[in-house]
Amino acid sequence: MITGSIVALATPMKVSGEIDWEALRRLVNFHLENGTDAIVAAGTTGEPTTMSFAEHFDVIRTVVEEVAGRIPVIAGTGANATSEAVELARYAKEVGADYCLSVCPYYNKPTQEGLYQHFKAVAEGANLPVILYNVPGRTCSDLYNETVFRLAELDNIVGLKDATGNLERAEDLIERLKGSGFMLYSGDDATACDFMLMGGDGDISVTANVAPRAMHELCVAAVAGDTETAHQINTRLMPLHTVLGVEANPIPVKWALNRMGYAEAGIRLPLTWLSEKYHSTVGEALQLAGVIEA
């Protein structure tokens, strides 16, 4: 079981939009040196929807190679076509990923039965442990708790990333699944501290891209039930949690990584570089969190 801070890794790109493979490897080592507990490669923050299949595969492979078994790698393998989600998960297994993260199919708006059958097919075809990913704000497809409970009974489905930010729903999930071995992760940094203090196993985090050590320490404290320490760290990071959502993820976090010197100013259309009006806002949050100097 993975617990703690799991970074939803941004994919560094050059100004031209090409993937910067050298910067990607440096970024992986930045996380290894700063306590990140696991890495999601080519998840939402990694911009896989703008990549070719070959690029998507190569990002996963590169992260697995650079990590070299030191921490778990979770491959982002979601797709709105079930056959593609299975193909991506199979490739992730071939190159050595430890888990796959499979998002609810986006755009086509399946029913709850459709979601169940989709993930069942992924679990049966992937040959890799599957972590479900519910982010209705992006997909227009909401995986209800009752469907999660059905899916949790399947052998190869081992966890959930819940990015709804709804703590009432999270409490229900935790109460009914805690102790079963099914892993429950927040996917919403602003509510992740409370999610973990209620019994969640960790946070698949955007903030961890730029503040990996602090997010690791926050998650360690929260998972252990150390409310005081967790709240102290979370209060310091809250401005960062907030401003990394001022425009669509990963726009703000890629600007922040550029400001920190870890990546060029590269992003792919239809996403664009962070609007100038937000530069000082994100920069100030980085300073408050101790990520950059004033």
Give the active site residues. 133, 161
Q: How many angstroms separate the Cα of 264 from the Cα of each of 56, 183, 255, 260, 261?
A: 19, 35, 9, 10, 8
Is 251 annotated among the ligand-binding residues? no
Provide the 3-class DSSP secondary structure of residue 202: strand
The residue among 28, 8, 16 whose CA lies nearest residue 245 is 8
Residue by residue, DSSP assigns 146-160 as: HHHHHHTTSTTEEEE
- 10 Å CB burial of residue 209 (0-12, 13-18, 19+) is buried
Is 45 annotated among the ligand-binding residues? yes
Provide the 3-class DSSP secondary structure of residue 99: strand
Peptide bond into 250 cis (omega under 30): yes
Return the bridge partners of 160, or none: 132, 184
Residue set of the binding site? 45, 204
Residue set of the binding site for pyruvate? 45, 204
